[in-house]
Structure formats: structure tokens, C-alpha cells
Amino acid sequence: MRIKAICLKTGLSKDTVRFYEKLGLLTNVEKGLNGYKNYIDTHVEQLSLIKHAKGLGFTLEEIKQLAALLFSRQLTMSEMSSFLKLKEQEIDNKIKQLYEFKVHIRETLEGSCEYRAQLKKLSGK
């Protein structure tokens, strides 16, 4: 299939597909005699994995490592488990950081409201 067809199947743009191919995330894309690249169902699987993993917060480098292992069938369940546990830990740390930032914002807003109330009281309004 040509790039337009794979884009329709995956919901990705042509530029994104080309970018992933350039990074080595999309492998073994062959050109036909007509000069057009021919994409196959394996490429749809690869792009679906990339899209899903990006949505879960994996970096492109992490996706590249994971995809290489998955599609080469060299990844054991133990390795997959370790890889995902590490990502889970990173997500937990990110959640903690976001929560702390949210608390800081809330405290800033509450402090700002209290400050405004005091100013109104002092100005007699």
C-alpha cells in the first residue's frame, strides 16, 4: 500500500510516517519499481504501536527500543515486565510532581484571593 493508504489506516500524517521512518522506527520499507514506497500490514502494526506508546507517554527513543525488541521477537516476558515497571515508576514520579505543582497553584490562588480581600477591606470598598 502507498503512504496515503497507511495514513488512512493509522490516522497519522504523511510527514509523521516519513519522520518515524527516518528515525528508524518504521523498518524494512521497500520501494517498488515505480519508485513509490510499499507499506505492508507489519508497518501498520509498527505505526499503531508507536502511536499508542506515544499516547501513553513513552519517548520516541523508548519506543524505538521497545519496537526493535518486539518486532525482532527477542523480548522475553521478564524483559517486557522490567521495561514497563520502569515506565510505571516514571509515571508515578510525574504524577507526584504534577500534584505538587497543582497544590502550589492552589495555594498561590488562595493567597492571591486573600490578598485581594485584604486590599478591599483596607481601601473601604
> What does CATH list as the number for 1-74?
1.10.1660.10
Q: CA 112, 96, 90, 26 torsion: positive or negative?
A: negative
Among candidate residues 27, 15, 93, 14, the one with its CA nearest the CA of residue 63: 27
Over residues 79-104, the pLDDT tens digits come to 778 888 888 898 899 999 999 999 88
Residue extents of the structural domains in the chain: 1-74, 76-125
The whole-number pLDDT of residue 13 equals 96
Summarised one tens digit per residue, pLDDT across range 15-71 is 999 999 999 888 889 988 888 999 999 899 889 989 988 988 889 988 888 777 777
- In this prediction, residue 22 carries a pLDDT of 92
Q: What is the largest CA-CA distance in the chain?
A: 83
Give the Cα separation of 2 and 14 in Å (integer).
10
Residues 6+ apart with CB under 8 A from 49: 63, 66, 67, 70
Indicate if the pLDDT at residue 72 is higher than 80.
no
